[in-house]
Amino acid sequence: MPSLNFIILIGGPGKIASCDPAHDQTWKNYIAPIQVAVRKEKIVAPGERLHWWVYAPAYRERWDDDSKARATQTQRKEVAAIRALHANDYLDRIQRAASGAGASFKALEKPNDFWVELGKLPDGSVSRVWYIGHASMDGLMLKLIHFGACSPGADRDHDMIPLNAIRKNEPLVGRKLYRHGQPSKFLGCTTRAFAEQWRNVFKLTAEGATAKIDFSVTNRPSKVEIIERLEKSEPTTGWTAFPAGAQ
């Protein structure tokens, strides 16, 4: 059996939106839970190599926004904290955090890079894929933006992995997946359809949310582990598992 690769795809914020604390409490909304899960919950199984694949445009845009001359006090504090750690920007800080978590780091520039990079890995070597970030019933939204009265969304043409991309890329990545790995998890709002399609196409266990995940629970005191806390963050989140092979 080849060494196994555990891939965590990490989406990100865009410009700050203080009106939406459920998704945008901090620039590290989608980084902090993974740090906690690796450090305290030991999510990496024996024989797995951990990879953080980070959607770079989201964090560059947030850094530029937080660094602007008219930034809010909150934004200035975030930037000052990064500079106090002698990091160049948010991406540099994430890369260092990945190293501290024993993970490799890869900056993705386009949504399709996710499939391309999976396709480069050895056959049968991907034990599971996790996603953490914004999402909708139509797919994974790698960079968060807001419309109108603070309605969260994404640029569907440039910053999204759509649902139909799973079947389209099956010839490229299907053989890369280890048939006896742990469940793939898609930690984002309304990812149930994405998880179900992942199971249907690849015949592997996948899990996702029926409704909203509230990422603000990351910073709330709790005895429940962080991943389970996200999966149960709202009474209606409806975290759902689709067993391997069943349809």
Query: What is the tens place of the pLDDT at every residue in 101-139?
Result: 999 999 999 999 999 999 999 999 999 999 999 999 999
Strand order in the sheet with 134-136: 134-136, 139-141, 160-162
pLDDT at 56: 97
Could you tell me the pLDDT band of residue 239, with boundaries at 50, 70 and 90? very high
pLDDT at 247 over 80: no
pLDDT at 2: 58
Query: In the numeric block, which tokens belong to residue 243?
Result: 């067993």
Instruction: Name the phi and psi angles at 245, rounded to 5.
Output: 80, -25
Could you tell me the pLDDT band of residue 149, with boundaries at 50, 70 and 90? confident
pLDDT at 223 over 70: no
Residue 231: CB atoms within 10 A of its CB come to 20
pLDDT at 245: 75
pLDDT at 1 over 60: no
pLDDT tens for 9-19 read 999 988 887 77
Q: What is the mean pLDDT of residues 231-243?
A: 95
Torsion 60-23-95-166 (CA) sign: negative
Residue 17 and residue 19: Cα distance in Å, rounded?
A: 5
Residues in the chain: 247
- High-pLDDT (> 90) share of the chain, %: 75
**DSSP for residue 122:** P
Q: Where are the alpha helices (DSSP H) in 109-213?
A: 113-120, 165-168, 170-173, 192-202
Query: In the numeric block, which tokens belong to residue 110?
Result: 């386009």
Helices 73-84, 90-100: axis angle to 10 degrees equals 50
**Pick the residue with more confidence: 81 or 222?**
81
pLDDT tens for 28-66 read 989 999 999 998 888 999 999 999 999 999 999 999 999
Q: Which residues pair with 145 in a beta bridge?
A: 153
pLDDT at 126: 97
**Pick the residue with more confidence: 221 or 183?**
183
Helix (H) or strand (E) holding 100: helix 90-100
